[in-house]
Structure 1
C-alpha cells in the first residue's frame, strides 16, 4: 500500500468512528472500502496509540470513541493527506467551485478566504467563472499583502461579507474553531476534503463525560 493510500485509510478510519456509533467491523469495511483485516490493524494501532477507546455492545458489536489525542491525530492526517494527494489540485478546485456555487444560489456573493496558503490560490481560481462580487483573504499571521490579485487582511473588521470559506490546509479544524470563536455569527463554509468536524468540541465533551461516569 502506498503512503498516500495508507494515509487515506487511517484518515477514513478515524473519520468513520469519530461519532461514537455502535458498529460492526463489517460496517466499517463497507464505509471505508478496505478489508476487515486492515480494519483490525488500523483499530489495533489506534487503540495502542491512545487515539481510540472501545466499548463492547450487544450482538458482537462495539462502540468506538475518538479521544482528544485521536482528534489531534485526525487533524495531522488531514494535513499529511492533502500534501500527498496527487489529484489534490483537481479535487480541491472542483470542491471549492461547489462551495461557492452553493453559496451563490443562497444569495451570497461576498466572501473571505480563511488561510493564505495554496488552497486560497485554488479557491480564487474556482471563483473566476462565477458571479463573486467581492473576495478577501483573511490571515493574521502572513506577511503577504495579496494573493493572486486578492487583498489579504488581518481581520474582518469593516469587511462586508456573506460567508467565510476555510482555505487553511495546515490545520483546518483549528482554523474552523478559531473562526467560530472570533466570528460567532458568521456563516463558515468548507470543502469536504478538509474533513472538518463542526461539532468536535461536543464530541470530545461527550467522551470526557462518558469516561468520568
Structure 2
C-alpha cells in the first residue's frame, strides 16, 4: 500500500492504468487497492476533464504514508542487521576452519550483504555464482555461471545468498561439493545435507 500512496502523493495526474503500471500490478488489483484506500479515507477522488478522475492524498493519507515508510525502513534495517550478523557468524566459523576464500551463490541484495560481512571478517570473495547473469562482475567480483568456474577462481567454500530458491541452489551445489563447504544463513531456512541424510536414514 505504501507504493500506491507514494505514487498518488507524487502526482495528481495518475489514472488507474498509469498507477497499475507504476506498481507493476494488474489493472483490477490497482482498482481494488484504490477503492480500499478511498474507503479508509486515505485517498480522495475528484472528477477531471475527459471523463477521468484525479486522485489525491488526504491529510490522513499523508500521515499513513509517512507511517508506512518509517515502518518499512525500520523493517529493512532490522533485516539488514540480522542478515549481516548471520553471515558474519558463518564467515567467522569458516575462518576458524582455515577457509578464507569463498564464492557467493546469488547476485541480489543478500549477496551484497554477504560481501559486506566478508570484508569485515577477513574472508575473500573469489567469485559470484549467478547462472544467466550476463555481466562480467558484481561489485568488483567475477561473475561465473557454475561451481566449477568458482572453484577455478580459487573458492574453497560456497555461501548461499540466493533468496529466490535457496534450497534448490544449496542442494545443487552440495551434489558436487562436500556439505561442510556449503553454508547458508538461518534466515534462508535451508535444510542442510547433514540433517536431510539423518531424516532419510531414520
TM (normalized to structure 1)?
0.51
Aligned to 1:192: 186
Distance 1:192 1:100 in 2: 13
Structure 2 unaligned regions, length at least 5 = 1-74
Aligned to 1:164: 158
Q: Is the 8 A contact 1:120 1:168 kept in 2?
A: yes
* 1:127-184 Cα distance to aligned partner (Å, 9 max, x none): 2222224421111221232222111111233232221000101111111111112335
Q: Which has the higher contact order (CA 8 A, sep 6+)?
A: 1
Number of aligned pairs? 123
Structure 1 unaligned regions, length at least 5 = 1-84, 208-213
Aligned to 2:135: 144
| Selected match of 1:99 from 72, 87, 90 | 90
Distance 1:185 1:194 in 2: 16
TM (normalized to structure 2)?
0.54
Higher radius of gyration, 1 or 2 = 2
Q: Is the 8 A contact 2:128 2:142 kept in 1?
A: yes
* 1:79-126 Cα distance to aligned partner (Å, 9 max, x none): xxxxxx542111111111111111111111100001111111110111
Aligned to 2:176: 182
Q: How large is the RMSD of aligned CA atoms in angstroms?
A: 2.4
Q: Which stretches of structure 1, 4 residues or more, deviate above 3 A after TM superposition?
A: 182-186, 199-207
